[in-house]
Amino acid sequence: MTGRVWKYGNNVDTDGIIPARYLNTSEPAALARHCLADLDPSFAAGVRPGDLIVAGANFGCGSSREHAPLAIKACGVCLVVASSFARIFFRNAINIGLPLLEAPEAAAEIQSGDNLKFDDQSGVLTNRTTGRTWTGRPFPVFLREIIEAGGLVELTRRRLADEEVRRP
Amino acid sequence: MSLTLDILSARAGHPVEPGELIEIDVDLVLANDITGPLAIQEFDRIGRRRVFDAARVVLVNDHFTPNKDILSAEQAAQTRQFARQQGLPHFYDVGEMGVEHALLPEQGFVCPGQVIVGADSHTCTFGALGAFATGVGSTDAAVAMATGRLWFRVPSTISVNFEGQTRPWVGGKDLVLHALAHLGVDGALGASLEFQGRAVSALSVEGRLTMCNMAIEFGAKNGIIAADRLTRAYLDDRPRRPEVGPRIGAAGPRIAAGGADRVAAYTFDATRIPPMVATPHLPSNGVPASEVGDVPIDQVVIGSCTNGRLEDLRLAAAVLRGRKVRRGVRCLVIPATPTVFRQAVAEGIVETFLAAGAAVSTPTCGPCLGGHMGVLGPGERCVATTNRNFVGRMGHPSSEVYLAGPAVAAASAVLGRIADPEEVVT
């Protein structure tokens, strides 16, 4: 995937990602229309599939609303890079299959508008504007299982089905 | 060993280490009218017909209720229908409904040693009773509803000690805002925050609930306080619900002790902490209320899972009694649960609020998240006893939220600007 970078600062909160006034639905396409509405009103109209969000520390802090990663994913964002993630946002993104890369150096160096390529198989991120590359820390085995299954629901479905088969 | 490690080790069946990924049984799964519908949709995709234990799934329609619009009415109907179809005995709707994190402890659902997950970030509130309680997303809640289990990364622990005695008008909110100003909004990222010390032991359980409520604002996984004599006394006054108690591990009071899993310890002198205010747009922007200068306000909200309990309303009423809300300021008081509301009526507190010119509403999370019942317009400024003051949190992106405890909020309502209670009550 290749795309353009939308860069933000530290402590991007989930009210900034999807204000609660739009949480009267969980329809991803409807959420995408208001993604980052209060933080960057130009984002929702300008974002293209394959684009990336790059931000500082504590991305996704605040509420547990899964609507936040859902809105970002529904915009076609292929990867969120941050120097750190808030823990509930991190869980939610893994659980719904929104790729994340925790990479403080990349988050600091990448600039708004840079053109980036992300290889989701190798985890290598290339800044095509500057030529720099980064590789994120690999996730622990269990998180990789969730990601490879296509999310926590898929993994759970599969495990429950296996249990059914094993049951005499 | 820290309290959190103690609970998680008991649950995992072996001594766990910070950083370890574990899958363990949970005792209680909570969701509301925003996160519930999404959780129900994911539950249906998992393919289990029934939840793992109907008694251990609690649904509370508290956010956009009484319904704010047609779409939110549809969402509330989804949790209602699911509760009926699954035969959930603990479904709370308008009338019995309260703000979930005030309602569950009050109604006896929380006890020491439990593992609780809730699809709401302020689920960490329940740690005030010595439970391990953490906020998760809707998918996590769905999996927990289906299987009764969930994965966790074992946190390291940061202890925050409050020594000394609190000053007049200072409560759990002021202590936690003070600590938050020092640690920052990612000061405990993914960690367990253990509150302790003489000033914490001297706080009521209600004040402790306020402190643990804001653990998430440090980025923490959970907040926790060791159960003690006050916890026991509080639990003795609740309805008994053995059906939701810890499935594994002792329920006895746990005592915090030193341990290698502690990565940091902070100590604050409570005698030096004044009534606090967190200025826009981060909860970590705490400063003494007496030092913010002349900041005129348009609205005051007293309520929420942070400060909507009876003790909070009593404190606000002590400031407002015999006084008037300043003309031009809207003061909203929202008792967090029907029980709090009834007690506030019985004690004459509601009469005090009404006489002062405040509006008193049925329980709802409404204004805290800019949902309804007090949404802010462009440029409007509000003092709220809630927990977040991010850009646009309570309404228009140009509006401003100042976070404070109930005494500061009530004093500000009287003077029409941010005020220390000492300026009003002399």
Q: Which pLDDT belongs to residue B255?
A: 52
Task: Encode pLDDT of B388-419 as tens digits.
Answer: 999 999 999 999 999 999 999 999 999 999 99
Q: Which pLDDT belongs to residue B251?
A: 47
Which of B138, B386, B394 should be substituted to probe chain A, the one whose Cβ sees the most A Cβ atoms within 10 Å?
Answer: B138
CATH architecture under which domain B278-423 falls: 2-Layer Sandwich (3.30)
Residue B46 to residue A140, Cβ atoms within 8 A: no
Phi/psi of residue B117, nearest 5 degrees? -120, 145
Residue A35 has pLDDT above 80, yes or no: yes
Amino acid letter, A68 = A
B73: burial class by Cβ within 10 Å (0-12, 13-18, 19+)?
middle
Looking at beta carbons, which residues of chain A come within 8 Å of B391? 13, 15-16, 38-39
Task: Encode pLDDT of B146-205 as tens digits.
Answer: 999 999 999 999 999 999 999 999 999 999 999 999 999 999 999 999 999 999 999 999
Query: What's the CA angle centered on B288, arms B285 and B294, to 5 degrees?
Result: 90
Amino acid letter, B299 = Q
Phi/psi of residue B289, nearest 5 degrees? -60, -30
Q: A with B: how many residue pairs have Cβ under 8 Å apart?
A: 140
Phi/psi of residue B352, nearest 5 degrees? -60, -45
User: What six digits make up the tokens of B161?
Assistant: 């000690």
Residue B391 to residue A20, Cβ atoms within 8 A: no
Phi/psi of residue A8, nearest 5 degrees? -135, 175
Residue A151 to residue B139, Cβ atoms within 8 A: yes
Picking from A63, A67, A87, the nearest residue to B189 by CB comes out as: A87
Cα–Cα separations (whole angstroms), residue B409 to A69, B177, B206, B400, B404: 34, 14, 18, 14, 6
Strands B286-288 and B276-278, by their bridges, are antiparallel
Residue B146 to residue A64, Cβ atoms within 8 A: no
Residue B147 to residue A39, Cβ atoms within 8 A: no
Amino acid letter, A113 = G
User: What six digits make up the tokens of B325?
Assistant: 């809300």
ipTM for this prediction: 0.95
Distance in angstroms (rounded) separating the CA atoms of residues B233 and B117: 25
**DSSP for residue B296:** B
Distance in angstroms (rounded) separating the CA atoms of residues B272 and B182: 14
For B349-375, letters b (16+ CB in 10 Å) and e give: bbebbeebbbebbbbbbbbbbbbbbbb
User: Across residues B352-369, what is the average pLDDT?
Assistant: 98
Q: What is the pTM of this model?
A: 0.97
Contact B416, B296 (CB under 8 A): yes
Distance in angstroms (rounded) separating the CA atoms of residues B130 and B245: 12
Which of A88, A89, A160 should be substituted to probe chain B, the one whose Cβ sees the most B Cβ atoms within 10 Å?
Answer: A88
Residue A160 to residue B146, Cβ atoms within 8 A: yes
Q: What share of chain A is helix, strand, coil (3-state, %, to 5)?
A: 40, 20, 40
Nearest chain A Cα distance for residue B349, angstroms:
31
Residue B393 near chain A (CB below 8 Å): yes
Give the residue ranges of DSSP H helices in B133-228. 138-147, 172-183, 198-202, 205-213
User: Across residues B274-302, what is the average pLDDT?
Assistant: 98
Residue B72 near chain A (CB below 8 Å): yes
Task: Encode pLDDT of A44-60 as tens digits.
Answer: 999 999 999 999 999 99
Residue B186 to residue A11, Cβ atoms within 8 A: yes
Task: Encode pLDDT of B111-130 as tens digits.
Answer: 999 999 999 999 999 999 99
CATH topology of domain B3-270: Aconitase; domain 3 (3.30.499)
Picking from A13, A66, A142, the nearest residue to B137 by CB comes out as: A66
Contact B189, A87 (CB under 8 A): yes
Segments of chain B assigned to CATH 3.30.499.10: 3-270, 278-423
Task: Encode pLDDT of B223-263 as tens digits.
Answer: 999 999 999 999 999 999 999 988 876 544 455 555 667 78
Residue B135 near chain A (CB below 8 Å): yes
Q: Which pLDDT belongs to residue B259?
A: 65
Residue B52 near chain A (CB below 8 Å): no
H/E/C letters for each residue in B101-154? HHHHHHCCCCCCCCEEEECCHHHHHHHHHCCEEEECCHHHHHHHHHHCEEEEEC
Picking from A61, A64, A151, the nearest residue to B136 by CB comes out as: A64
Contact B22, B12 (CB under 8 A): yes
Question: Which H or E run contains A20?
Answer: none
Task: Encode pLDDT of A120-158 as tens digits.
Answer: 888 899 999 999 999 887 788 899 899 889 899 999 999
